[in-house]
Structure 1
């Protein structure tokens, strides 16, 4: 019995080495090392595979495939499958690596059960054609499309991240700023696709992937409609059938898939906005038909009160029942969202007239921060700032909000610079005016006479009985007195002798 087990183990070890070598899963030198361990040191196959997983030479998915003796399923053309990333209606998506370029990609494989399904094959080809004509930062990029041993696959860029549905499910509803950022990025990608003649028709949180760097990518164009397409729409769906996801589908798209246009994508994106801010879909229902009628007949659900009126208006315009009452293009959505974001940023800071110069940053860097107390309160499109100046004086100013296309949103640092510059300019103006008044006063009192005039006479004219270098009594002894007509009275001096 033990001999039979030993023979079985040897056979398994030989099959593993043969698969590794045939499909070039490891380089030849490494395979020879494993050959020594397996055949001469009698290391079990499972132990060997576990070591390869720990050293990251193989993935768990690859090791399991090798144990099943189906290593051929790991190779598609020039690509080596590493692990599954997810599954869709048409097949599965894998993390793969180009064997020569050693570049990681996402490989979408048409499921074997659909190989003979003409409709699914046409949908897969449609996605390939749609992605091939699109190149945008917010749309996943297609690198290649091919067929290997009867299996069709699409090669796309690999984006390390998570789709918005999974993100909300894990962390709950997004903040307003996070949701607006995601929707704006999606709108930019869709606007580009629409201008290229591609209507997505299946926009939903699951098809919006957020990378670790915060960049959003639109996925899955399998249901996309291409303008000037030689492939008849009837080839993809039978009359009366439906394409898309009911929870995010526009009413007119549910009624007639073939007439869905850019405004249908706008509705789906508005429904996605609702989901991101609430964590739930717009309408609930136990059946598909109930949800379809809800999108058509029920009132539009409100967003939470804390979202704010401007964004609520945008949302209402995106999900209007009648396409004519919605935004008519994704470009309109982008412009409105960008303006709202700009206004909100402006309301959180005070923008002063003028332009910040490079030298202003030096003033801020050298500033004692305790001398400035910024207290901003949002009041529609104006803000009230209390600024403590240098001469212990306090001034309150109301400054209207400014919106400029050239300047980026101001930071608190920039606010402080402007406040300091304004305070300094006012202080300098006050000092200048004070100096002018003093000069006028001195001129009127005769302070500026010629140098030949007697010093004591000038002092007496200016000061009268004011003390100069001594008491008033000593001054009278030295300087005499003034007569009623303003002239010097020498007799007064004589009387004191």
Structure 2
């Protein structure tokens, strides 16, 4: 799995009290750590071997600082069970979650492929049809999570895995990874006040940045930011520092897609503007509603009805209004 671990920054930053490199080869519960996939302030993800079933998994170990909080531990167990119960073709399955040697862990399906961030670095901007195929699969996964009362809170290219599809009509198969297992817990245990940012600022909804309650429409906003990046090569708001970026998400009008890419139907602009609305009530009610509107806009206006041919002279008595 090449995805960014999700709720922590892309740049390697050692977790407090643990040297991730020194963990290679160690066994945590029934999992032997084989190599590091990614790390950050909240967790480190490893490629590991499940010694019971002899299969490869992605094992996420929470940092000791977070794991010591008792409220977090209880919510971690509860939310892990909810995430594991979601069976969806575009969500990376959660196999197991628990504690071993004082370490909290989540074992997930190991997906061999690349994340959308790597794909965009190589191919952006994407053709509209490809962006729509990817966005539709992500939207389906998000709506399935919302049906279980889970809000992702960190939809971004690094948490979207793109693998080979089944045929020419479905050239990509997309997985969404790293649901809000820890983000909800962090926001309710005070860790966000200790400098741990919940979510990634390039894609964070205004209410999320402001610390207000969030629901599924938070993910609609973030998905719209990802779609904007797929179509232009960059997220909608680009600023030199975090403070300016926070302000832009909360108060500045989103840029028009047509200002950064020409040749798309006019309706695409309006759909993205609605999905990036500052107030959740002004956005689409679901991720699939947003993507459906985007697809329809991308198809452009329907062609005018064809004018029927003139009837031959011998048929004039049957079509008097056409020969008047």
User: By the TM > 0.5 criterion, same fold?
Assistant: yes
Aligned match of 1:297? 251
| 1:74 Cα deviation from its structure 2 partner | 2.7
Residues 54-100 of structure 1 show CA distances to partners (whole Å, capped at 9, x for unaligned) of xxxxxxxxxxxxxxxx7884322222222222224422212222223
Q: Which has the higher contact order (CA 8 A, sep 6+)?
A: 2
Query: SS in structure 1 opposite 2:34?
Result: strand
Q: 1:248 to 1:324 in 2, by over 3 A?
A: same
Is the Cα–Cα contact under 8 Å of residues 24 and 35 in structure 2 kept in the other structure?
no
In structure 1, list runs of 5 or more residues that go unmatched: 1-69, 348-379, 384-397, 401-497
Mean alpha-carbon deviation: is it higher for 264-273 or for 83-92?
Answer: 83-92
2:284 to 302, 327, 340: 327
Aligned match of 1:485? none
Structure 1 residue 266 corresponds to structure 2 residue 220 = yes
Provide the rounded CA distance (Å) in 1 between the counterparts of 2:79 and 2:25: 23
Provide the rounded CA distance (Å) in 1 between the counterparts of 2:40 and 2:163: 19
Is the Cα–Cα contact under 8 Å of residues 184 and 337 in structure 1 kept in the other structure?
no
Residues 246-297 of structure 1 show CA distances to partners (whole Å, capped at 9, x for unaligned) of 111111221124x111111111110111111112121122221211111122
Aligned match of 2:206? 251
Provide the rounded CA distance (Å) in 1 between the counterparts of 2:65 and 2:129: 43
Query: SS in structure 2 opposite 1:212?
Result: strand
Aligned match of 2:274? 317
Is the Cα–Cα contact under 8 Å of residues 192 and 198 in structure 2 kept in the other structure?
no
Aligned match of 1:150? 102
TM-score where L is the length of structure 2:
0.74
Aligned match of 1:376? none
Larger Rg: 1
Query: SS in structure 2 opposite 1:296?
Result: helix
| 1:220 Cα deviation from its structure 2 partner | 1.5
Residues 162-217 of structure 1 show CA distances to partners (whole Å, capped at 9, x for unaligned) of 11112212333222111111111111111111111111111111111112332211
Mean alpha-carbon deviation: is it higher for 85-94 or for 117-126?
Answer: 117-126
Name whichever structure is richer in helix by fraction: 1
Provide the rounded CA distance (Å) in 2 between the counterparts of 1:225 and 1:92: 15
Q: 1:88 to 1:118 in 2, by over 3 A?
A: farther
Superposition RMSD on alpha carbons, in Å? 3.1
Structure 1 residue 280 corresponds to structure 2 residue 238 = no
Corresponding residue pairs, total: 278
Alignment of 1:130-149 (within 5 A): 130-149=82-101
| 1:137 Cα deviation from its structure 2 partner | 1.1
Aligned match of 1:82? 34
Provide the rounded CA distance (Å) in 2 between the counterparts of 1:110 and 1:247: 24
Query: SS in structure 1 opposite 2:47?
Result: strand
Is the Cα–Cα contact under 8 Å of residues 98 and 104 in structure 2 kept in the other structure?
yes
Aligned match of 1:221? 179
Is the Cα–Cα contact under 8 Å of residues 127 and 223 in structure 1 kept in the other structure?
yes
2:156 to 198, 204, 207: 204
Aligned match of 1:189? 141
Aligned match of 1:412? none
Query: SS in structure 1 opposite 2:133?
Result: helix
Provide the rounded CA distance (Å) in 2 between the counterparts of 1:104 and 1:295: 39
Is the Cα–Cα contact under 8 Å of residues 265 and 297 in structure 2 kept in the other structure?
no
| 1:111 Cα deviation from its structure 2 partner | 3.3
In structure 2, list runs of 5 or more residues that go unmatched: 1-21, 166-171, 309-324
Is the Cα–Cα contact under 8 Å of residues 223 and 244 in structure 1 kept in the other structure?
no
Query: SS in structure 2 opposite 1:300?
Result: coil
Q: 1:105 to 1:399 in 2, by over 3 A?
A: farther
| 1:324 Cα deviation from its structure 2 partner | 2.1
Is the Cα–Cα contact under 8 Å of residues 151 and 180 in structure 2 kept in the other structure?
no
Is the Cα–Cα contact under 8 Å of residues 163 and 208 in structure 1 kept in the other structure?
yes
TM-score where L is the length of structure 1:
0.50
Aligned match of 1:64? none
Provide the rounded CA distance (Å) in 2 between the counterparts of 1:317 and 1:71: 46
Q: 1:173 to 1:128 in 2, by over 3 A?
A: same
Query: SS in structure 1 opposite 2:263?
Result: helix
